[in-house]
Amino acid sequence: MSLTYEDRKKTILDQLEMEGKVKVHLLAEHLNVSTETIRRDLDRLEKESKLRKVYGGAVKASFDHIEPPFPKRSQMKREEKAAIGRLAASLVKDGETIMLDNGTTTIEILRHLKDRPDVTIITHSIPILTLALEIFRGKIIFAGGEVNARYQAATGAITHQLLDQFKVNKAFISAGGISLADGITDYQLEEVTVSQSMIQRSEEAILVCDHSKFGITTFARIARLQEISMVVTDSGCPKEWIDAIESLGVNVLVGDSAPDFG
């Protein structure tokens, strides 16, 4: 029995959610229909604002090369990021040194480490540095360099030279998008290369990201999913994603977004 449009639509959108893109010829083979049928389906889905057609297939409609400024991002998914930060901070052991890249989720980790004088943090993020100077009781190392005012972070050769001096227990990495096909991606090449350096200089690389980042591909790849040790996300993350990531040998922890009265 041939599949209906609604059946094909579900398959197409499910694949988009997991991989961030679809190919016409592969869908035609998988669904046992003609490429013309798939192209018509993609036309309809584009009119429904479900995807954006590209040569040979389609990508998620939410794909965007432009990242909102840090202050705006800090107001998005606040409860989810707080839950992720709380859980990620609980992974840090006494006496450890950690790296925090520049993100509105990684800054939440710092909030839950404020009373840990035995922890050392290394960061290139101006917002994280500023907050650490206000609340953090442990040691702070700033990986300085050329400061980008828009992204509020130090980048460039000096930053990389400083990071290369250290070997740390854990690196907490944020991302603009995660997909099975394209791995962990972000918007700015300069920040991507800093995240890559942090991964290389850590014993354990941990990705922290809220559920809205799954199925998204942004400009530049930080790493393949298999290159990290763990993903910490929130309870909005679909089970299909958790299963897919764990099938790659990467552990997934889910934070509870209930209010923290501690």
Could you list the residue range(s) of the whole structural domain that residue 224 is in?
70-255
Strands 153-155 and 146-148: antiparallel
Q: Is residue 10 part of a domain?
A: yes
Q: Same domain for 26 and 50?
A: yes
193 pLDDT tier (thresholds 50, 70, 90): very high
- Contact at 8 Å (CB) between 125 and 106? yes
Token pair belonging to 68: 């909102």
Q: Same domain for 87 and 207?
A: yes
Q: Is residue 261 part of a domain?
A: no
- Calculated CA dihedral for residues 157, 159, 162, 167, nearest 10 degrees: -110
Q: Is 188 left (phi over 0), alpha (psi -120 to 50) or beta?
A: beta
Amino acid identity of residue 200, one-letter, is: Q
| Segment 69-113, tens digit of pLDDT | 565 655 667 899 999 999 999 999 999 999 999 999 999 999 999
- Contact at 8 Å (CB) between 177 and 216? yes
CATH number for the domain harbouring residue 98: 3.40.50.1360
The mean of the pLDDT values for the chain is 90
- Contact at 8 Å (CB) between 138 and 72? no
Q: Is residue 65 part of a domain?
A: no
Q: Same domain for 101 and 18?
A: no
| Segment 218-241, tens digit of pLDDT | 889 999 999 999 999 999 998 989
Q: Same domain for 137 and 35?
A: no
Q: Is residue 260 part of a domain?
A: no
Please check the confidence at residue 261 and state whether its pLDDT lies above 50.
Answer: no
Highest mean pLDDT of the ranges 13-22, 75-84, 182-191: 182-191
CATH number for the domain harbouring residue 11: 1.10.10.10
SS3 114: coil
Q: Same domain for 155 and 106?
A: yes
Helices (H), 67-222: 70-73, 78-90, 106-111, 126-135, 157-163, 189-200
The structural domain count of the chain equals: 2
